[in-house]
Chains A and B, each alone.
Chain A
Amino acid sequence: MAKNKLTTGKVQSIISNLLIVEADGPVSQNEICYINLSGVKLMAEVIKINGNNAYVQVFESTRGLKIGNSVEFTGHMLEVTLGPGILSKNFDGLQNDLDKMEGVFLKRGDYTNPLEDDKLWEFKPLAKAGDKVAAGDWIGEVKENWIHHKTMVPFKFTGSFTIKSIVSEGKYTINDTIAVLSNEKNEDIPVAMAQKWPVRIPIRNYKSKPRPFKLMETGVRTMDILNPIVEGGTGFIPGPFGSGKTVLQHALAKQAEADLIVVAACGERANEVVEIFKEYPELDDPRTGRKLMERTTIIANTSNMPVAAREASVYTAMTISEYYRAMGLKVLLLADSTSRWAQALREMSNRMEELPGPDAFPMDLSAIISSFYARAGYVYLNNGKTGSVTFIGTVSPAGGNLKEPVTESTKKAARCFYGLSQQRADSKRYPAIDPIDSYSKYLEYTEFKEYINKNFSSDWIENVLYTKNILLRGKEAYEQINILGDDGVPINYHLNFWKSEVIDFVILQQDAFDEVDASTPIERQKYMLKSIINICKNDYKFDSFEEVNPYFKKIINFYKQMNYSEFQSDKFNGFKKELNATIEERKIA
């Protein structure tokens, strides 16, 4: 995209944030330009070109713009700056550092540096003069918080290079030249710690992307046990408003076993982001003892922030995730809500008067969503190390009806489906993930099964399927009881129903706001699952159906008290003893 002279233009037409700009030179699709509004520059992106006319979407309010306002094209696409200092930051959708902005209110055209130009980092070379390298290869590292942040040969470089010189260990800024590479033509190319990358293009500097197979522990029982997500896997959480999508994502952000968490707050509430800003610096990461904020980066483009930037924000977040994956890290990317991103696409497509698809969404919505999900994955890097981007997005279906374009398109792209049910949410059975409709395709992966057999136990998957089966039978029994009446069915039906209730109350339901219950480490989950399976496999003696309900209520109550107690504490073991005694009361040996 190199050009000798940068193109300029003049505004010809304004409808909301869509402008038509007459350009005086070459323009590329997705090129970034700035509109000059009496000294303030408003960032915009080319989304369609017709002759000399570039259609651009402005990432800001267009209030006050006039025909004839001048436009400068930049010659590059929407890019993010990648380098040490990204971690723990709060960015907007275009990677402006929100903390660097002055004043309480956002100002149009206030673009801030995402990283720190003058900060000195303790750089350690990982390569030496004479080494042959290619894009993405690690040539040095700095300590960023607690991670070993790799300096890589810029992803934009094509072909192979020889390191001509590299600086020795010491303090450097992100823009200092830390190495000089020479290309095949023997030209010198300086390399710094910071590099840029266009967000809409995936970073592909890895050797291979196998099917993911490693369980990623989340501490959320209904996920880990029933429908596990894997490192490098994809999942989505559709649910009507108020069903618990955000609470679930926050639980994952706090607890999931990942090195880094990137949270894309995409067109949702600002107060939910504030919760992260305010709480994560105080909360401990149970695995490392460090503060949660040390592993978290936030891309906040909340619902009241410009719509076009909202659309860009998911790409910004994905690019940052891919960057850290290239360093061999396990990244978890959470986006809330991908429906807002789709709506941003819809607003623009309507303004452009494109032929609308279902519900007025753009025709290519499905393709856009699948290519985004395809950027996640577990990879083998060129140096043999592994890294992953796991992506879980929420979907906010209109009217809570899953037969709508965003949910349907996402279903085709994501491998795990965590459907939140209104009914469960209404009866406060949180997390409201429907245990019957939800699925994880990974349970069927042979790679995953092998991993579980080796690292968990050989009967784990069998037990998971058994649990699912009990839930299904419980549901069927419940329906029969409702049709035929309590005394119109054999006692066995009541038993089946109540066994499924035990699983529901003890495994599925989990109080995200209770200190102990919020997160269940995998060892504890294994223990609980085994215990529950024993309960379900037992036979019990009842003389009438009326005895079943109070008996299992009692069992559930003991289990719940256990869930609220520290694992294996005296309290926990006390309840366990009472539980066992209760079981013995009616168990048929």
Chain B
Amino acid sequence: METQAFQKIYTKITQVTKATCSLSAPGISYEELAVINGRLAQVVKINKDIVTLQVFSGTEGIPTNAEVIFMGKPPTLKVSDELSGRIFNAYGKPIDGMPDIQGEEREIGSPSVNPVRREQPSELIATGIAGIDLNNTIVTGQKIPFFADPDQPFNQVMAMVALRAQADRIILGGMGMTNDDFLFYKNVFENAGASDRIVSFINTTENPSVERLLVPEMTLAAAEYFAVDKNEKVLVLLTDMTLYADALSIVSNRMDQIPSKDSMPGSLYSDLAKIYEKAVQFPSGGSITIIAVTTLSGGDITHAIPDNTGYITEGQLFLRKDSDIGKVIVDPFRSLSRLKQLVIGKQTREDHPQVMNAAIRLFADATNAKTKLQNGFDLSDYDERTLNFAKDYSNDLLAIDVNIEIDEMLNTGWRLFNKYFSPEEVGIKKEFVDKYWTKEEE
């Protein structure tokens, strides 16, 4: 984004707000970039010859005679194989101390895939975590966030999933990430010998928050390069999308837009959908899978950010601490993978859907029993059994430290059914009961 000699320099800013500067400049195109005293800005409004620029790093200290240079193009990223193993900031500039990369310059925020050109996502991504593989199976081309309170170990789980996922390429988009978390990711990937498969775009807590707004599109532009040009299986990690949305609301509030729920902009749904819908299975074999993090405040999923996210993504993985076993589990109630039915019982064993549902139903019965207990009532024999079942189920299957194959998860399910219940109480199709029930009896 170097400035060039023939570019006109404007030095008369007529209006400055917290987020924007306006000046008179003819012939400017919408969404074009500009540099104001070295700070990057983007055209967000043009009225006759008055151009309004959103300054990514904020307008603090910008004088009315600041030098404004228009770049004649929207934000771009240079793409080539040289991206591999590199770390960039939100503007796509290297921050790993190594030189700029060479490559084709592409606009970020590219158009959508024609829906009729999409393939149906179909390749199972095994993570070893039963809370995911058994109950919320994910597939390539899917988009799914972790919903977790800030104190949950979502970065650890996400790094683990990324490494086990066997992706050709991992693109990490960090928004408002603490430096410690960034170093954590770096170390985990280095230790796994995966560094050169990884491209990172990082906005840390030390960078201005509005800069984050560029991170998802930069990340996805790189992902599209590898998935479309190289037919690779690309896994995109976006963390933390709540901080991204917060930046959106800062901008829209500073620009005096009418806020909707939770002071978020009315366009939040469309803004988030544009990012998440980049997840796709291409006909040529390449794919983009997006796993994101949306931090919650006090587990509240009705807040506009998780709420809109849930309406966009293909499910969500809800992490919570199970106090009965003292471990973090993937909550079977609030978690969901919408695309699981494309693979379960088809690419996995036939009894997968029924085992999954039956176990969750029994876990729900345990929750009811717990309520009874709390209300001071006697428990029936069935209640007692569901409570014991729930403990084992939580520990042997839901906990995030589980790492087993899917068949073993199913066998574990049958083992627990057998241990605590009769076939009628489990209510699974008879043909499966006939086939799998006695098998695990020792």
Contact = CB atoms under 8 A, between A and B. Distances in A.
Interface stretch (B21-29, B91-99, B123-131, B389-397): B21-29
A532 to B, nearest CB: 17
Interface string B376-420: 011011100000000000000000000000000000000000000
Contact of B114 (A62, A98, A553, A557): A98
A201 interface: no
Contacts of A428: 357, 360-361, 364
B314 A269 contact: yes
A426 interface: yes
Interface residues of A, number: 72
B120 A278 contact: yes
Interface stretch (A7-15, A158-166, A364-372): A7-15
Interface in B332-361: 333-334, 336, 338-339, 341, 353, 357, 360-361
B312 interface: yes
A561 B430 contact: yes
A270 B48 CA distance: 37
B48 A101 contact: no
B439 interface: no
A564 interface: yes
Given A271-B339, A274-B119, A350-B257, A64 B111 contact: no
Contacts of B372: 482, 485-486
Nearest to A488: B377
Interface stretch (B53-61, B148-156, B166-174, B261-269): B261-269
B34 to A, nearest CB: 14
A98 B333 contact: no
A24 interface: no
A556 B111 CA distance: 51
Contact of A241 (B29, B110, B307): B307
B371 A482 contact: yes
Nearest to B377: A485
A274 B114 contact: no
Given A14-B46, A242-B336, A65 B381 contact: no
B48 A13 contact: yes
B179 interface: no
A343 B270 contact: yes
Interface stretch (A202-210, A303-311, A460-468): A303-311
Given A64-B30, A426-B334, A561 B382 contact: no
B357 A241 contact: no
B425 interface: yes
Contacts, number: 199
B49 A67 contact: yes
Interface string A308-328: 000000000000000000000
Contact of B113 (A104, A278, A513): A104
Nearest to B228: A104
Contact of B310 (A98, A241, A359): A241
A519 interface: no
Contact of B378 (A108, A401, A487): A487
A304 B274 contact: yes
B169 to A, nearest CB: 19
Given A104-B282, A428-B360, A553-B424, A485 B112 contact: no
B118 A66 contact: no
B371 A513 contact: no
B115 A64 contact: no
Interface string A81-101: 000000000100000001101
B314 A271 contact: yes
Contact of A104 (B31, B283, B316): B283
Nearest to B371: A482
B112 A277 contact: no
Given A66-B29, A427-B364, A554-B424, A273 B115 contact: yes
B423 to A, nearest CB: 8
Contacts of A343: 266, 269-270
Interface string B17-48: 00000000011111110000000000011111
B103 interface: no
B116 interface: yes
A307 B277 CA distance: 14
B258 A360 contact: yes
A305 B112 contact: yes
A15 B277 contact: no
Contacts of B423: 557
Nearest to A397: B307
A339 to B, nearest CB: 8
A546 interface: yes
Contacts of A302: 112, 115, 277
Given A105-B111, A106-B111, A486 B378 contact: yes
29 contacts: A12-B48, A13-B48, A63-B29, A63-B31, A63-B109, A66-B29, A67-B28, A104-B282, A105-B112, A105-B114, A241-B307, A242-B316, A270-B277, A303-B273, A303-B274, A303-B312, A347-B267, A347-B270, A359-B260, A396-B311, A399-B307, A401-B302, A426-B334, A482-B371, A485-B375, A546-B380, A546-B381, A550-B425, A557-B423
The 4 A-B pairs with the shortest beta carbon distances in the complex, nearest first, are A303-B273, A399-B302, A304-B277, A241-B310
Given A62-B31, A105-B112, 19 more contacts: A64-B29, A64-B30, A90-B115, A104-B228, A106-B112, A267-B269, A270-B113, A274-B119, A304-B274, A398-B304, A399-B302, A426-B334, A426-B364, A486-B380, A487-B378, A550-B424, A557-B423, A557-B427, A561-B430
Interface of A: 12-15, 20, 61-67, 90, 98-99, 101, 103-108, 240-242, 267, 269-271, 273-275, 277-278, 300, 302-305, 307, 340, 343, 346-347, 350, 356, 359-360, 396, 398-401, 426-428, 482, 485-488, 513, 546, 549-550, 553-554, 556-557, 560-561, 564
